Structure 1
Amino acid sequence: MKNSKTFNHVSYLWDDAKAAELAGDEVALFIYRSNILGADLRLTNYGGGNTSVKIIDKDPLTGADTEVMWIKGSGGDIGTLTKSGCAALYMERLLNLTKVYRGIEFEDEMVELFNHCIFDLASKAPSIDTPLHGFLPFKHIDHLHPDAAIAIAAAKDGKKITEELFNGEVGWVGWQRPGFDLGLQLRTCLEEAAGRGIKLRGIMLGSHGLFTWGDTAYKSYINTLEVIEKCAEYLESNYKNVFGGQKITSLPAEERKHQAAKLAPILRGLCSSHRKNSPLGAGGMIGHFTDDARVLEFINSNDLEKLAPLGTSCPDHFLRTKISPLVLELAPNEDLSDVSAIKAKLTPAFEAYRAMYTEYYNTCKHPNSPAMRDPNPVVILYPGVGMFTFSKDKTTARLASEYYINAVNVMKGAEAVSEYTSLPRQEAFNIEYWLLEEAKLQRMPKPKALSGRIALITGSAGGIGKAIAKKFAEEGACVIINDINEERLEGAKAEFIKTFGRDAVATTLLNVTDAESTEKALDAACLAFGGVDIVVNNAGISISKSIAEHSLEEWDRLYDILVKGQFIVSKAGIEVMRKQGFGGDIVNIVSKNAVVAGPNNAGYGSAKAAQGHLTRLMAAEVGGDKIRVNTVNPDAVISDSNIWAGGWAEGRAKAYGITVEELPAYYAKRTLLNEIILPVDIANACFALVGGLLSKSTGNAINVDGGVAMGFYR
């Protein structure tokens, strides 16, 4: 029996007890095998590869035994695969498709015919890999994209290395786009080996990946691990002068992150040129940054200039990272303080990349090719600092980063044992603009109103701030949750990740009265997502006292948090928005008390009035930058609101001559609509201002108070 100690380069995750629970259910074992293979990113990338099992089942129409293949459905991920994510097909029907196959020029039409082979009516759409599994006569099959195997598959001498390394027991099929014909080639490779008296244990696909198999789920799993382990051992024994040695030295870790945070908004603006005229106004690509050691080894090397323009080899890598990365010609410690100078330095590089991509498209396109997509780079390499990736959402940007690291591993291995080769440009284009891929893109759900936008809401670990952050996340925004209280922040983080996923949220401590704390919070936003589009100044306190009872310390505290805090955070947010160059939104949560002269409210009410006028002043100043600044005026938001802490409820009750328990009803009855105001009501007003429909409104105020006539604007 194999165990984890047998392997040094892959993870042995098979649990005999778990497998025993699934004994007798081959589909369940196939899914279990798939999940543990997908759990090790050294074996395959997220969403990459495919797995299958062939079983005998009862035909629901005839009751006769029939062979059925279960396979991961289109667009799924083996690491998280469930039965509902699989396709199940009649093997006899699938094999009979060879009778209607018209040749490689027409193989795309075969994909629709897979639907005529469906056995389980609840099946997901069958993957393009379906014939690759169907035409191999093995019960359990694993098709993975392990870096160690692809390094050999992408090497100039890959076929020879594969034959020698495995003594002919792993076959070779040269590069071809996945499809019906490639399935036939796999079968031919197997049959030709058998004709020579060789029993293959796997097949290497040139520039692409690996096929392995077994009679049982466990045997397939072990065979897969053993083949990949052997590839990895071979590569490791040949690592010497990696990437030609190091040309430059990285900045220290903290300095790398500082440089990345300051540069990210500029890069985001340049990368979002294709999206600046979107109907929703400000918003753009979402970013991801990594200074992973594997990335630094590559981008600091002597061979970067040679290898980076070649792009990737594996189609899964290429689809998410584009034809090649953009390498920045900036010193690691470049002074980034002069934003105009940095933009002037980088703009020609981006223009050159877009021109290169346009030429690539025009040279390789077919008469029926989809229109050219965004010509901006996805992967941006900054030697000495790290790698940025930008895409339509955080998940896609993060995955692009992971895939390019896979590509770096492949280049490292291929260069160690031979010479790295990438996909020819025409083949790369045929993958990127494949009509089947285009159809998949067209089936994607329509973006939400705040997709591509990044929001920082101060004081968002609770109360009104949390409600605003939830609303924005529900509408597709990436949100930066922050608070001065670390414990409360951790609780909010766990809640948001559970609800929206790790790619929708980042967190940071933030004291709005401290400029350094604010700068660090904005840097955290830029590192997490690439910048900021929406700033909501929500953090606040409330003190209800008469002039006679009000202390100077309380007065200063109110003005520090409400007015100074709004100033500090807005100033930092405007700086980031100007770097990006496509506008943004600032929403200030003020109050009815900014315009209503109520009792026992001199400090709070006057500070709120200052916030309101600062809103108008900022709107007048930054309109030329397409930054909109607006106000939401709540009143009496009692439910789940931090404003009622610290004696505010008692102070207001005293002012009105009622008890604290009577406050909710009192506030509701004094409104024209007789309504209690909730945090979500404030969140909805904020969304109305930033969601796109009011993109030409600035300097305005929306009252959310149930209708208080004294608070009407005149």
Structure 2
Amino acid sequence: MEELLARAHALGADRRNTNYAGGNVSAKATALDPATGSPVELMWVKGSGGDLATLTASGLAVLRLDRLRSLVDVYPGVDREDEMVTAFDYCLHGRSGAAPSIDTAMHGLVDAAHVDHLHPDSGIALATAVDGPELTREIFGDRVAWVPWRRPGFQLGLDIAAIKAGNPLAIGCILGGHGITAWGSTSDECAANSLEIIKTASKYLAEHGKPEPFGPVIYDTLPDRRARAAALFPVLRRLASTDNRQIGHFTDSPKVLDFLARAEHPRLAALGTSCPDHFLRTKIAPLVLDMLPTSLESAIARLEELHAQYRADYSAYYQRHALPDSPPMRGADPAIFLIPGVGMFSFGRDKQTARVAGEFYVNAINVMRGAESVSRYSPIPESEKFRIEYWKLEEAKLRRMPPPKPLATRIALVTGGGSGIGKAIAHRLAAEGACVVVADRDPSSASTVASEIGGTAVAADVTSESDVVSAVAEACLAYGGVDLIVNNAGLSVSKSLLDTTVEDWDRQHDVMARGSFLVSREAARVMIAQGMGGDIVYVVSKNSVFAGPNNIAYSATKADQAHQVRLLAAELGAHGIRVNGVNPDGVVQGSGIFASGWGAQRAAVYGVPEEKLGEYYAQRTILKREVLPVHVANAVFALTAGDLSHTTGLHIPVDAGVAAAFLR
């Protein structure tokens, strides 16, 4: 097992060998059966799901070979081969490990101690070439056999086992339309044979392929493509989310831009991808904009036309091939949008799924390039793609997935997210499934929090209009748009009226009143373009209604924020955008504001030691409890997770009960 995991990691670490979560590896050996004490032949094989590069022992299925091979005698034929997946459960050795995948038969029935099944771009290029069998024979001779396309399953395992038995010199095979399989008597030999097939195919394509398989350049790459991508992304996300809300990923790699610049890309894109791993995530074909988006208005209008046609075509594709017992159509929106001069936009249920869909389409571009360079790209038929896309086994896999978290598919931007309340809010939103952009004027703090939660960091001073515009654009580029804004950035100076300077006043209002206005305005632009509603939450303060001493600048700007909540709730409700506020009492622990001098100033006002300030605040409340950052984060979650879907213009007190701050 240790050798198998080492081989999986080595092969999976190089994406030229196989795509993310693609392929599987196996090893056969004899071990003692703990129930009988007798030797038993076992096979360890990568189970359903998981990635070779990070495979662990828990990701392996362990099966008894005698029982697995006995399934040949009860196999009911290709028309009922899906039943064999359930039969694999009766071959398992022990209770732990992953569920056996559809490729288990391929590994168990081939008479070799070690077997690899991989999806290298070079191998799939040969597998999808119109003359793939002839090319395989020319390149490899007797060392690699050709297996005609067959949907993965028990029969494919029987086919490959027969190929291996009938070709004693073969080290593996090219699977038509799909990938490669290799074998060996040792783990090292198996890996070497896999790499020989991959590298030999790559070398042949490099040496014999024509230099411009995608044709001449017809579109220039736009110099401001990232700005255009940020502007287009919310619109594309709206289109991609017509049936189900999606998260996006943007790719403008040289390979993508070159493909989109060339004359043949519309023809090839229309043919779709071929490898099952590819089109299960990219759908059978992308939506391709047939113009340069030099005018955003014209491009958006055309995209809406193309999207309507794509949905009609996809529905017709479903109707052409669906059987009475086929799973229902999952959605007619594209997963991949190709925009010449700008790049590729991929979508999925979460960021990883969207990113992987994009990576797989880059794999497909590589495959098309290789096939077109030496032959003609010819993917598997549309009917076969449908059989896999709407395979009952795939449907069962989807149904086994855990239910989404409350904020899944929501994109949040938290200002002042590098410390204190903002940090707690970022952590809570991420834990509940949101994609979180942490904005802070301190880039280091933002990066630290973002790395803790798997989010994105942006450096932004909310008093700067250009910084705010850039921060929202970065959120769009990272995930496709913005759904949830938390206006949390703030600071405070505790001074009496006579001691408050104009600079003090302006600084307070610039950060909180002006900053909140700028962030809300730019976020609203995106939310309106997305057409999916949204949430804007202001972290205000009980001081917006409570009149305390020596606090004129801070409390006045908090009152400004409080009324922004009401004004924007009234204005943006027509777009489904809800605007609410949270009014905390003084949050001492973990607060960047209190640590920067505000705590000492307020402690002096109340005549208590600074280290006792939190206790002082708690004792003046009705509940006698100190307010912590996590309590504010809890309120933000409550406002945005869906249970308060009909609530807007509300301020929630998080102050443990301050009677003078009760809302009236």
TM-score, normalising length: structure 2: 0.98
Separation of aligned partners in 1, 2:238 and 2:179: 36
- Residues 134-213 of structure 1: pairs in structure 2 closer than 5 A: 134-194=108-168, 199-213=169-183
**What residue number does 1:704 align with?**
654
Pick which of 113-122 and 487-496 moved more.
Answer: 487-496
5+ long unaligned stretches in structure 1? 1-26, 276-283, 498-504
Counterpart among 571, 578, 585 of residue 535 in structure 2: 585
Counterpart among 208, 218, 235 of residue 266 in structure 1: 235
Q: Measure how far apart 1:219 and its partner are.
A: 1.2
Note if 1:542 corresponds to 2:492: yes
Q: Measure how far apart 1:495 and its partner are.
A: 2.3
Note if 1:223 corresponds to 2:184: no
**What residue number does 2:57 align with?**
83
Q: Measure how far apart 1:240 and its partner are.
A: 1.7
Separation of aligned partners in 1, 2:528 and 2:299: 13
Secondary structure (helix, strand or coil) at the match of 2:29 reads strand
- Residues 536-685 of structure 1: pairs in structure 2 closer than 5 A: 536-685=486-635
Conserved 8 A contact 2:618-2:626: yes
Separation of aligned partners in 2, 1:552 and 1:241: 65
Q: Which letter does structure 1 place at the counterpart of 2:554? A: Y
Q: Measure how far apart 1:213 and its partner are.
A: 1.4
**What residue number does 1:43 align with?**
17
Q: Deviations over 1:438-469 (max 9, x none)?
A: 00000000011100100001010111001001
- Residues 486-565 of structure 1: pairs in structure 2 closer than 5 A: 486-497=443-454, 505-565=455-515
Note if 1:123 corresponds to 2:97: yes
Separation of aligned partners in 2, 1:260 and 1:168: 49
Q: Measure how far apart 1:343 and its partner are.
A: 4.1
**What residue number does 2:415 align with?**
458
**What residue number does 2:78 align with?**
104
**What residue number does 1:319 align with?**
280
5+ long unaligned stretches in structure 2? none
Q: Measure how far apart 1:308 and its partner are.
A: 0.6
Pick which of 525-534 and 111-120 moved more.
Answer: 111-120
**What residue number does 1:426 align with?**
383
Separation of aligned partners in 2, 1:615 and 1:147: 53
Q: Deviations over 1:333-370 (max 9, x none)?
A: x232x5xx654332221110000100000110111101
Q: Which letter does structure 1 place at the counterpart of 2:142? A: G
Secondary structure (helix, strand or coil) at the match of 2:115 reads strand
Note if 1:335 corresponds to 2:292: no
Q: Measure how far apart 1:657 and its partner are.
A: 2.3
Separation of aligned partners in 1, 2:212 and 2:555: 68
Q: Measure how far apart 1:487 and its partner are.
A: 2.2
Secondary structure (helix, strand or coil) at the match of 1:203 reads strand
Q: Measure how far apart 1:203 and its partner are.
A: 1.0
Counterpart among 270, 279, 284 of residue 309 in structure 1: 270
**What residue number does 1:3 align with?**
none
Counterpart among 218, 225, 232 of residue 256 in structure 1: 225
Q: Measure how far apart 1:384 and its partner are.
A: 1.1
Secondary structure (helix, strand or coil) at the match of 1:390 reads strand
Q: Measure how far apart 1:245 and its partner are.
A: 2.5
Counterpart among 219, 238, 242 of residue 213 in structure 2: 242
Q: Deviations over 1:652-688 (max 9, x none)?
A: 1222222212211111010000001000000000011
Pick which of 318-327 and 233-242 moved more.
Answer: 233-242
Note if 1:59 corresponds to 2:9: no
**What residue number does 1:447 align with?**
404
**What residue number does 2:257 align with?**
296
Conserved 8 A contact 2:437-2:450: no
Q: Deviations over 1:9-54 (max 9, x none)?
A: xxxxxxxxxxxxxxxxxx1011100111000000000110010000
Counterpart among 299, 303, 328 of residue 346 in structure 1: 303
Note if 1:368 corresponds to 2:339: no
Secondary structure (helix, strand or coil) at the match of 1:79 reads helix
Secondary structure (helix, strand or coil) at the match of 1:226 reads helix
Separation of aligned partners in 2, 1:646 and 1:51: 56
Moved over 4 A (4+): none
TM-score, normalising length: structure 1: 0.92
Q: Measure how far apart 1:391 and its partner are.
A: 1.2
**What residue number does 2:637 align with?**
687
**What residue number does 1:12 align with?**
none
Separation of aligned partners in 2, 1:36 and 1:180: 28
Structure 1 residues 140, 293: CA separation in 2 closer, same or farther (over 3 Å shift)? same
Q: Which letter does structure 1 place at the counterpart of 2:14? A: D
Conserved 8 A contact 2:44-2:62: yes
Q: Measure how far apart 1:407 and its partner are.
A: 0.5
**What residue number does 2:184 align with?**
214
Separation of aligned partners in 2, 1:364 and 1:146: 29
Separation of aligned partners in 2, 1:421 and 1:712: 70
Conserved 8 A contact 1:162-1:168: no
Separation of aligned partners in 2, 1:38 and 1:488: 34
Q: Measure how far apart 1:107 and its partner are.
A: 0.4
Separation of aligned partners in 2, 1:450 and 1:352: 31
**What residue number does 2:2 align with?**
28
Separation of aligned partners in 2, 1:596 and 1:60: 72
Q: Sequence identity of aligned pairs in percent?
A: 49
Separation of aligned partners in 1, 2:196 and 2:118: 13
Separation of aligned partners in 2, 1:219 and 1:540: 62
Separation of aligned partners in 1, 2:95 and 2:576: 52
**Aligned residue pairs, count:** 663
Give the alignment's Cα RMSD to 1 decimal.
1.1
Q: Measure how far apart 1:58 and its partner are.
A: 1.3
Conserved 8 A contact 1:543-1:646: no
Separation of aligned partners in 2, 1:603 and 1:109: 72
Separation of aligned partners in 2, 1:153 and 1:345: 35
Conserved 8 A contact 2:447-2:456: no
Q: Which letter does structure 2 place at the counterpart of 1:360? A: Y
Q: Deviations over 1:611-665 (max 9, x none)?
A: 1011101111111011000010011111101121332112212222222122111
Q: Which letter does structure 1 place at the counterpart of 2:217? A: Q
Secondary structure (helix, strand or coil) at the match of 1:243 reads coil
Secondary structure (helix, strand or coil) at the match of 1:69 reads strand
Conserved 8 A contact 1:76-1:85: yes
- Residues 388-407 of structure 1: pairs in structure 2 closer than 5 A: 388-407=345-364
Q: Measure how far apart 1:151 and its partner are.
A: 0.1
Q: Deviations over 1:508-541 (max 9, x none)?
A: 1111011111110011000000000001100000
Q: Which letter does structure 1 place at the counterpart of 2:210? A: Y
Secondary structure (helix, strand or coil) at the match of 1:512 reads coil
Secondary structure (helix, strand or coil) at the match of 1:92 reads helix
Secondary structure (helix, strand or coil) at the match of 1:296 reads helix
Conserved 8 A contact 1:214-1:223: yes
